[in-house]
Amino acid sequence: MKIEQFEDKGLAHFSYAVLSECTRQIVLIDPARNPQPYYDFARDHAATIVAVIETHPHADFVSSHLEIAQATGAVVRVSKLLGADYTHEAFDDGGSFTIGKLTFRALNTPGHSPDSISIVLSREGHDVAVFTGDTLFIGDVGRPDLRETAGNLTAKREELARQLYHSLRDKLMTLADDVAVYPAHGAGSLCGKALSGAKSSTIGAEMRDNYALRPLSEADFIQELLADQPFIPKYFGYDVALNKAGALSYAPSVQQVPRLAVGTSLEVGVLVVDTRPEATFKQGHIPGALNIQQGGKFETWLGSIVGPEEPFYLVAEDEAALADVLQKTAKIGYETHIKGTLAGSPSWTQKLPALNVENFRAHLDNYTIVDIRNVSEAATAPLFDGALSIPLPELRERAQEVPGGRPVVVHCAGGYRSAAGSSILAAALAGTPVFDLGEAVKSFQLAAITH
């Protein structure tokens, strides 16, 4: 037996391949959009992919389960509650299947979503691991507030939290202490609020260290779980529906995205997402463009700022950068919304002014300061008295709340988000100078700590 964990650091996503070494057969669990790593694993082990299990219809990434099934003949197994639109076999409480010496057993564990399952892996009758999807993470549990409007089954967050309380205690916590826990996400995921940096654990360790598994009444659990959950990106509901239906095959869909020559006239009124470095963007971009830089969390911010109903152009610094952002765009299923891509730095003349930081420091009252960090960040570490707090995911819709009449300075915690935020406000507040505080915010953080 071999359990291979695949990690997508951008989305903090884990997927798994379980290999039966005696039959050379593989079962995949929660595969990412690009199926090639799983095909490579199968080739390297001279094995065949025979089943793909989805623990639930994921909100934060697009799965390749349907593509893999169509390419390999593997069976897709999901809960009957999911209401999948593709051919599948129901996999719920009481259901199991065996390859070689390995048996996979389904547990219905609703809570993160109504249709969530966990999969217990046994070897020769002994439980060795459980794949918990978004039900149980290392140090945390899945958030129960994503399915009020999406999916085959919708449910209120309080009811899902109640279900999660019992899924954990009546199903997962009854497993033996030495059973390994393999979750679908790690630290940095928006599917929970306090995930550990560890990539696996055991039932015993989680019962000892995980705040959600300590002795709690149902009411106290619900109250604690629902408090301080992070924001919900705009694309989450879209991806639930896409995964329920099954996505287009990855490579052909990316290849069909139109590539435009530098100098091509872009359709007026269509959003431009410019992924070049902020310094390059500020020196020249097309009017109205949003600067969502290529980076480790590009796909999260793209899907948080741009809604799934919006077509857009995608601009990258060069061909290599374009390939990277296209791959990240496809991870959330947005590649079909791209009107066209441009690689390079066209001779656009729209600029963003540079901030005189020392003048700003000396005359804070002369500026409208917009803090685009999350509400919890702004509350726990305030930097400027009177700053207007509008989290970045809400900034496009709330830009008109920023008053005119004074120059505007946008800040976040480190400079990445404020590049996007300043581009949003510059596009929305015609005639008002908009400045990006950028990485200079760190000097104000240091001053606040010293003070």
46 and 141 fall within a common domain = yes
What CATH number is attached to the domain comprising 330?
Answer: 3.40.250.10
Rg of the chain in Å (alpha carbons): 24
53 and 140 fall within a common domain = yes
14 and 124 fall within a common domain = yes
334 in any annotated domain: yes
396 in any annotated domain: yes
81 and 185 fall within a common domain = yes
In the prediction, which pLDDT does 405 show? 85
222 and 167 fall within a common domain = yes
**Percentage of the chain with pLDDT > 70?**
97
213 and 263 fall within a common domain = no
In sequence order, the 6+-apart residues with CB closer than 8 A to the CB of 63 are 30, 31, 32, 33, 54, 243, 247
242 in any annotated domain: no
Return the higher-pLDDT residue of 303 and 154.
303
Over residues 416-448, the pLDDT tens digits come to 999 999 999 999 998 999 999 999 999 998 766
Location of structure tokens 């505007």: 408
Over residues 214-232, the pLDDT tens digits come to 999 999 999 999 998 888 9
Q: Are 328 and 302 contacting, i.e. CB atoms less than 8 angstroms apart?
A: yes
Over residues 310-361, the pLDDT tens digits come to 999 999 999 999 999 999 999 999 999 999 999 987 778 899 999 999 999 9
181 and 53 fall within a common domain = yes
Q: Which two tokens stand for residue 219?
A: 């009411």
- pLDDT reading at 263 higher than 90: no
Number of separate domains in the chain: 3
In the prediction, which pLDDT does 166 show? 98
What CATH number is attached to the domain comprising 127?
Answer: 3.60.15.10
348 in any annotated domain: no
225 and 258 fall within a common domain = no
23 and 113 fall within a common domain = yes
Of the candidate ranges 101-105, 120-124, 187-191, 291-295, the one whose mean pLDDT is the lowest? 187-191
Alpha-carbon dihedral angle through residues 183, 198, 63, 212, given to the nearest 10 degrees: 40
Over residues 15-54, the pLDDT tens digits come to 999 999 999 999 999 999 999 999 999 999 999 999 999 9
Query: Which range marks the domain in which residue 421 is found?
Result: 357-449
202 and 275 fall within a common domain = no
